[in-house]
Amino acid sequence: MTEPLLSVRDLVVEFPKRKTRLTALDHVTFDIYPGEILGMVGESGAGKSLTGAAIIGLLEPPGHIAAGEIWLKEQRIDKLPYEQMRRLRGKRIAMIFQDPLTSLNPILTIADQLIETLQTHLPLSDKDARARAIQLLDEVGIPAASKRIDDYPHQFSGGMRQRVVIALALAGEPELIIADEPTTALDVSVQAQIIDVLKRMCHDYGTAVMLVTHDMGVIAEACDRVAVMYAGRIAEIGDVRQIVKDPQHPYTQGLMGSIPSLTERVDRLVQIPGSMPRLDAIPAGCAFNPRCTQQFDRCKQQRPDLIKTKKGQVACWLYDGESS
């Protein structure tokens, strides 16, 4: 098997809160392999965005990494000094945010933003950078790219802006893109197109993607593997077909059960009775136990770690002893 591109090991992210602290990410562990698309699902507040922010080193204080390690190939990146991390951002790991309407600077032209990003990471002359910028816009499907490049963001539609955002994220030809709900803010009619562009571009450039989404259709269509998060922990990771057709974790089963069919898109995943606990009220043992229909004594006392099974990895006591 190939070496992982990104390895997140027992990542803990905390927010100090008066005398105590909130543990927002609790021993999160997963890998992303070169060129793959890893889907990341889970209810709002599960910790998906924080995971992305921690990886790219943009956690907003007072949030901070309290324990764990993040490795990009052979390099440990969770403790890099600012300048080294800055040079890595956009060059090796890039990020796409949810809302294309607010992701672009309103007073700089697309050319300004794209050329600056290119020149930050690549030794390009002004002329070459501009040519490359036009080429990138062309590749993400902006019509008449050589004319539109001098326009301002507000002159583009939401879908077009998200294409520009994708071009910007890919400018440094990164090995990994973290796409945090890249289509949630968009019109339903263009969501599929944007996912297609993202998928195609990343395929062409060999870029791996961590794709955060609520959309099970997108997961089934675009992802190679899926990680399911619950209350700041990974509940299950596995191959996309296994997760969709044969989920192991009771929470994942609930998620999949709440989808009428894969062609029909659902935005919110909360059809399981009850709601995810707040960070200051996570129950002992398995965080899912109050909502779990299959819970038993052990679930309230001991916290399950990810257990490797034949099908994937799952954090649930039902699979203890099945480990392979």
Partner 1 sequence: MIAMLIRRIIQAAMVMLVVAFISFSLFQFVGDPINNMVGQEASQQDRAELRDRLGLNDPIPIQFFRFVGNAVQGEFGISYRMARPVSDVIAERLPATLELALVSGVLAISLGIGLGVYTALRRDGWLSHFIMSSSLIGVSLPTFLIGILLIYVFSVELQWLPSFGRGETVQVTENWSTGLLTLSGWKSLILPSITLGLFQLTLLMRLVRAEMLEVLRTDYIKFARARGIKQRSIHFRHALKNTLLPVITIAGLQLGSIIAFAIITETVFQWPGVGLLFINAIRFVDIPFMSAYLLLIALVFVIINLIVDLLYFAVDPRLRVTKRSASR
Ligand X SMILES: Nc1ncnc2c1ncn2[C@@H]1O[C@H](COP(=O)(O)OP(=O)(O)O)[C@@H](O)[C@H]1O
Report in angstroms how near the CB of residue 283 gets to ligand SF4 at its nearest: 9
23, 29, 47, 68: which one contacts ligand X (CB under 6 A)?
Answer: 47
What per-residue string of b and e applies to 222-260 under the rule 16 or more CB within 10 Å gives b? bbbbbbbbbbbbbbbbbebebbbeebbbbbbbbbbeebe
Regarding 157 and contact with partner 1 (CB under 8 A), the answer is no
- 3-state SS, residue 193: helix
The nearer residue to ligand SF4, 121 or 249, going by C-beta atoms, is 249
State the binding string over 6-25 for ligand X (x if CB under 6 A, else -): ---------x------x-x-
- Sorted by sequence, the CB contacts under 8 Å of residue 137 that are 6+ apart come out as 110, 114, 145, 148, 149, 163, 164, 167
48 makes contact with partner 1 (CB under 8 A): no
Which is closer to partner 1, CB of 186 or CB of 299?
186
Taking the C-alpha atoms of residue 162 and residue 132, their distance in angstroms, rounded to an integer, is 18
Closest CB to ligand SF4 among residues 145, 287: 287
* Part of the chain binding ligand X (CB under 6 A), chosen from 41-49, 69-77, 119-127, 171-179: 41-49
Which of the ranges 13-21, 40-48, 83-91, 197-205 carries the binding residues for partner 1, by CB under 8 A? Answer: 83-91
Token pair of 74 as six digits = 């052979």
The residue (of 134 and 195) whose beta carbon lies closer to Mg ion is: 195
Gap between the Cα atoms of 135 and 123, Å rounded? 17
Query: How would DSSP label each residue in 32-77?
Result: E-TT-EEEEE--TTSSHHHHHHHHHT-PPTT-EEEEEEEEETTEE-
Stretch of residues binding ligand X (CB under 6 A), selected from 43-51, 71-79, 182-190, 244-252: 43-51
Cβ proximity to partner 1: between 104 and 137 the closer is 104
CB atoms within 10 A of CB 179: 28
**Pick 88 or 210: Cβ nearer partner 1:** 88
317 binds ligand SF4 (CB under 6 A): yes
Q: Which of partner 1, ligand SF4, Mg ion, none does residue 49 bind to, with CB < 5 to 8 Å depending on kind? A: Mg ion
Structure tokens at 156: 């583009």
- Please identify which residue in 4, 9, 22, 49 interacts with Mg ion, judged by CB under 5 A: 49
Interaction between residue 95 and partner 1 (CB under 8 A): yes
Q: Which of 294, 216, 213 is nearest to 255 (CA)?
A: 216
